């Protein structure tokens, strides 16, 4: 029998970026995992990696703090 499982996603905006906090259902306290998605500062963002962060929270029974960092600029603004 599979029980229902709920992950709550909250968005936290700080001075230098956004963080998504994934909190599993169940009895607290939970450990905390800081998750840096694999976009390499080039592709993707926190929404693309939402499923991975949710799955990690569920499998580890932990709060996951998913860090969203900005992408690199498309054009080099530095002179050659």
pLDDT in tens for each of the 80 residues of the chain?
334 456 777 776 666 667 888 999 888 899 999 988 776 656 666 678 888 889 999 999 999 988 877 666 666 655 55
* Residue 16 covered by a domain: yes
Q: Which residues pair with 63 in a beta bridge?
A: 32
Q: How many other C-beta atoms lie within 10 A of the C-beta of residue 44?
A: 14
Residue 19 belongs to what H/E stretch?
strand 17-24
* CA–CA dist 21, 34 (Å, integer): 9
* CA–CA dist 74, 64 (Å, integer): 30
pTM, two decimals, is 0.70
* Residue 75 covered by a domain: no
* Residue 63 covered by a domain: yes
Quote the domain boundaries for residue 46. 7-68
With H, G, I as helix, E, B as strand and everything else as coil, classify residue 54: helix
As given in the structure block, the two tokens for residue 30 are 């939970």
Number of independent structural domains in the chain: 1
């Amino acid at each position: 029998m599979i029980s229902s499982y709920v992950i709550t996603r909250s968005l936290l905006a700080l001075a230098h970026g956004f963080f998504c906090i994934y909190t599993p259902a169940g009895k607290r306290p939970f450990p905390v995992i800081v998750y840096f998605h694999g976009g390499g500062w080039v592709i993707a963002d926190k929404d693309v990696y939402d499923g991975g962060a949710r799955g990690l929270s569920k499998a580890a029974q932990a709060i996951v703090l998913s860090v969203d960092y900005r992408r690199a600029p498309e054009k080099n603004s530095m002179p050659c």
